[in-house]
Structures are given as structure tokens and as C-alpha cells.
Structure 1
Amino acid sequence: MSRSRFAPAALSAPALLTMGAVLLVPLVSVAVLSFRGFDFDKGILPVWSLANYAELANDGLFHEVMARTFRIATIVTVLCIAVGVPEAIIIHRMAPRWRGLMLLVVVGPLLVSVVVRTFGWMVLLGTNGLINQGLDWIGVPGTPFRLMYTELAIILGLVHVMVPLVVLAVWASLGRLDPALARAAESLGAGRVAVFRRVVLPNIMPGILAGALMVFCLSASAFATPQMLGGRRLKVAASMTYTEFLNTLNWPLGAAVAVLLLLAILAATLLWTGLVERRALRRLGVG
């Protein structure tokens, strides 16, 4: 009896230890590094203090960067939900022969390198890019507009790659929805809006919430797209960490920025799952 009780733990121990070493050791190392001192002449100092966190607490640039990071992540999340949910529902209702093709089109951005994809947006959003050329061709006054190196450019680039996450999450929820429920509601006199609100929405809400959480976390921690479309001046938390590590070589300060970003994302995740998700599911009668 005792052997069978501990058998699952013994079998999963190698995988757990490997994942712990791969995931936790680097995170702990970065957290430990954030408490070290730094001198531009001597490098990392063998001292321990909260000086890096105190410096960031009084740094207006850091506050601006963090506010921009989570503002962009919130906007991207809202736009992805607004685009991804209807898109998933439309694809779900397509004929089977078109459904697979449309899913491939939607998932396409995930199959392309982030650098190649972002360079495509740079071609579109540049001063002489296709968007400004099109606006100039139709006679829009004020062209060319400054689209590159703006928050709008970062948001567009992130939405482009994050929408498939919402579509796939909602698609999975729609796959578990029994079509007979909607037909039964319609046979009882419910209109399309009522069917969607009372039948479809409660069933796909877990997928919407899960997709929104993934989009928010990945957008808040994104680096390549904000770095390329936002430029050096329009920094987010990930690019600020990169600058401290590789440009100024202040590794302890960069580690402190990374730790605070991780803690902020974890806090937002706990707040989302503990308040928003639970209340939304309870209101819809799910769970």
C-alpha cells in the first residue's frame, strides 16, 4: 500500500526536479543578483542591500516605463478580445472545408519569426510605408503621419500576434459547446442576442478569460516587438531590463527591474483570477 501511494511522486520527481532546475534556478539567481551592489569602475560589488529597489522607487523614468508597459498590455488585451472572440465564433460556424484553412490563416502569425513579422510592420508603418502611401494617394491631409516609434505601432504589432491566442482559447471552449443547447433555446423563443448571452457566452467565458490572461502577461513581458516598433526612447519594462544588462552593464539594477516586472505580472494574474474571473463566472452561472 505504501509503495503504491508514493509511486506517482517517485515517477514525477525527475521531471519536477528538471523543471525546477530549468525554471526556478535562473529566477532565483536573478532575484539574488538584484540585491547586489554595483560600481561603474569595479562592476558588481560583494555587498547586499536594497539600494537598487530604492533607486527604482524614486526613479520617475521607471514609473513611466511601468505605466506604459501595463497600459499597452491592457489595450492589447481589450483589442484582442474584441477581435478574437467574434473571429473564433465565425470560424466555428464555417463549413468544415473552410474552417481548417481559416484556422491556419489565424495561427499564421505564430508560425513566423517575431523579427520577420515586426519588420513587416516597420515596412507598413514607416514614413514612406504602405499605409502612409495609401493615405497620401486618397488625399488625406497631413500625410505622412508619424506611425513608427509610437505606442500605436507597438499595440498593432502585439495585437497581430496575440489575437490567435484568444481565438484558440475561445475555439476550444466552443468545441465543448453542445449545438443542441442553442437550438433548444431558439425553439423556446429566444432571439439571437438572448441565445448568445444566456447560452453561448457562459460556455465560452472560461476561454475568453484564459485567452485574455495569456495576452496580458505576454504583452507586458514582450521585448522584441516593443523594442523594434517603439525604438530606443519609447521603452517598456523588458527593454529597460535589456538596456541595464547590456548597455549600462548594471546587472543588479536590471535584475531589480526584471524582478519587479515579474512581481507585477504575478500580482495582476492573482488579481485577475481571484476577482475578475471568479466574479465573471459566478455572474454567468459558470462553476
Structure 2
Amino acid sequence: MDTVRNRLPYWLTTPASLLMLAFVAIPLVLTLSQSLFQTPPTDSTGMTLYQYTQVFGDQYYRGIFTRTFELSVVVTFLCILIGVPEAYVLSRLSPRWRALSMFVVLGPLLMSVVVRTLGWAVLLGNEGLFNSLLLKLGLVDAPVRMMFTFSGVVVALVHVQVPFMVLAVWTSLQKMDVSTESAAETLGASSLTVLRRVVVPQVIPGVLSGGLVVFALTASAFATPAIIGGRRLKVVPTTIYDEILSNLNWPLGAAIAVVLMAAVLLISVGVGRYIERRYRQVF
């Protein structure tokens, strides 16, 4: 009987483990193996790092990776600026207004990212609502070019990613004891001191987890950069798509995908450990 109980957790986790193996581990191994083939195909059956020398040695691909990570950093920073105060306000609302506000914040997640991005394409176009309003107010003499620009992609991606930041920070705030703020105010602390010394230390784990999620999702985003950025603003996911489906260069596309995955993983782990170490030293 004891043996059966000891093995029960393993049996319960077996279905999930098999799904992870079938839909995550095996595709990753196949992608890695595909990236080690030569292009164009040769008679040699040996593996090669030729594709990786192309990725790291070509200024074109280095520029695309740089643009992708710059985009991810900017979007993550803006999501923190918008999502943290928003989550804090939500945590202080009454239950009825909180439920309504959470629905408004999380509502965009209920529709396809493609639909949301197409909506932004309509808003940001030369004849869209944004430019029409600016022209009617007399703030500009000609339409502001937002489509196929870095700024346009940032605006659309921030709208897509902010709910993830709000959820992460709001979860951290739910674990916080509200009485600690009242105690600090009773002891004479100002509102700014309460936020800096009481609220921020307890929110940092949520900001960190939300920031890493937003960074990873932005670096791997395809639909929004493809629609808003178009061919003029290439990022890594759209480049992978072009190499595999347009140029039929599967090994190079797989190599770019592997490099992107490894870079996001290393950056996420490194930043996470650095912030946690600084967090312990300061607080």
C-alpha cells in the first residue's frame, strides 16, 4: 500500500509529462537537429555549424536581433510603467468595481491577437482615427506616419502585453498585508515613503515575473510586427518565417530560432538572478 502511494504522484504527472515530451521537447530537438544541416544540401551527412556562423557573422542578422531585443526592452519598460500603477489601483477598488475593471483590463485577451493588431492598423493608418483627430485639432499639417515604424509596433505590442504585467503585479499585491501600509502611515511615514519602503519591495517579485513574461512574448511575437511593421521592420520571428516558408531555407530558419530561444532564456535567467540579488541587498 505504501509503495502504491509513493508512486501515485509519478502516475498523476505522467500524462502531462508525455504531452510536454510530444509537443515541446521533441519539436525542440528536431529544430536543433535541422539547424545543423548544410545549405544547400550536400552529399555529406555530417552535422555542421555553418548556419550559426551565418547568423553570428552576418551584420544583417545581427541588426535584426538587436532591433528585436530593443523592441522587447522598450515594450517591457512601458508595460511596467503602465501595468504597476494600474494593478495597484485595481487592488484598492471595491470588489464590484474591481471585477468590472479587471474585465476591462483582461478583455483584450479574450480576442485574437490578429484582430487586435488589425484594429491598431486601422487606428494608426494615415487616414485612421489617430491621424484624423490630430489633423482636425490642427496639431499636425500632415498625417503622422505610424504604420511600418518602430513606434507603431511598440504601441500595438504594449496594448497586447500590458494585461500580463497587470496580472503578475496584481497577484503579488493580493499577498500583501494592507495593514502594513496603515502601520507605516501611523508611524509618520509619507505616502512616497510607504510606496518605496513597503509596497515596492512586495511588488518586485510580480514586476520581475511579469517583465520576464512580457520580454519573452515580445521577442517571439510574430503577428503584431508582421502586420504593423510589415516588410520594412523585420524582427527575428518574421525573419524565421521568411527563411523557412519564403526562401525554403529550413536549416537557417531553424538556426535563427535556436539562437532566439537561447538568447531569451539566458537574458531572462541572468536578469532574474541579478534583480533578485539586488533586491536582497537593498531591501
Corresponding position of 2:218: 219
**1:168 corresponds to 2:174:** no
What does 1:57-72 align with in structure 2 at a 5 Å threshold? 57-72=56-71
Q: CA deviation at 1:176?
A: 1.0
Residue type matched to 2:96 in 1? Answer: R
Corresponding position of 1:279: 277
Residue type matched to 1:75 in 2? Answer: V
Residue type matched to 2:280 in 1? Answer: R
Q: CA deviation at 1:37?
A: 1.6
**1:22 corresponds to 2:23:** yes
Corresponding position of 1:255: 254
What does 1:148-167 align with in structure 2 at a 5 Å threshold? 148-167=147-166
Secondary structure, in 3 states, of the residue corresponding to 1:9? helix
Contact 1:53 1:256 in 2 (8 A): yes
Q: CA deviation at 1:2?
A: 5.2
Q: CA deviation at 1:6?
A: 4.0
Q: CA deviation at 1:46?
A: 4.4
Q: CA deviation at 1:17?
A: 2.6
Contact 1:84 1:164 in 2 (8 A): yes
Change (3 A) 1:44 1:234: farther
- How far, CA to CA, are the matches of 2:46 and 2:242 in structure 1? 23
Residue type matched to 2:205 in 1? Answer: P
Q: CA deviation at 1:141?
A: 3.4
Please say which of residues 45-54 and 120-129 is displaced more in the overlay.
45-54
- How far, CA to CA, are the matches of 2:44 and 2:171 in structure 1? 51
Segments of structure 2 that go 5 or more residues without pairing to the other structure are none
Please, what is the CA RMSD of the aligned residues? 1.7
Q: CA deviation at 1:48?
A: 2.2
Contact 1:36 1:44 in 2 (8 A): no
What does 1:227-238 align with in structure 2 at a 5 Å threshold? 227-238=226-237
State the number of aligned residues.
Answer: 282
Change (3 A) 1:215 1:44: farther
Corresponding position of 1:242: 241
Q: CA deviation at 1:91?
A: 1.4
- How far, CA to CA, are the matches of 1:88 and 1:23 in structure 2? 32
Q: CA deviation at 1:44?
A: 10
Change (3 A) 1:165 1:149: same
Change (3 A) 1:227 1:43: farther
- How far, CA to CA, are the matches of 1:149 and 1:43 in structure 2? 39
Residue type matched to 2:277 in 1? Answer: R
Secondary structure, in 3 states, of the residue corresponding to 2:109? helix
Residue type matched to 1:233 in 2? Answer: R
Please say which of residues 222-231 and 47-56 is displaced more in the overlay.
47-56
Secondary structure, in 3 states, of the residue corresponding to 1:38? coil
Corresponding position of 2:89: 90
- How far, CA to CA, are the matches of 2:120 and 2:237 in structure 1? 20
Residue type matched to 2:17 in 1? Answer: L
Change (3 A) 1:153 1:219: same
- How far, CA to CA, are the matches of 1:280 and 1:162 in structure 2? 26
Q: CA deviation at 1:49?
A: 1.1
- How far, CA to CA, are the matches of 2:190 and 2:242 in structure 1? 55
Contact 1:38 1:45 in 2 (8 A): no
Contact 1:220 1:265 in 2 (8 A): yes
Q: CA deviation at 1:115?
A: 1.1
Secondary structure, in 3 states, of the residue corresponding to 2:188? coil
Q: CA deviation at 1:279?
A: 2.4
Q: CA deviation at 1:125?
A: 0.7
Segments of structure 1 that go 5 or more residues without pairing to the other structure are none
Secondary structure, in 3 states, of the residue corresponding to 2:38? strand
Cα distance per residue 1:30-52 (max 9 Å; x no partner): 0000011222xx69984521111
Change (3 A) 1:106 1:156: same
Q: CA deviation at 1:4?
A: 4.4
Change (3 A) 1:47 1:232: farther
Q: CA deviation at 1:84?
A: 0.4
Cα distance per residue 1:156-214 (max 9 Å; x no partner): 11100111111111111111111111111111111111111111111111111110110
Percent of aligned positions with the same letter in both sequences? Answer: 45
- How far, CA to CA, are the matches of 1:283 and 1:104 in structure 2? 37
Secondary structure, in 3 states, of the residue corresponding to 2:39? strand
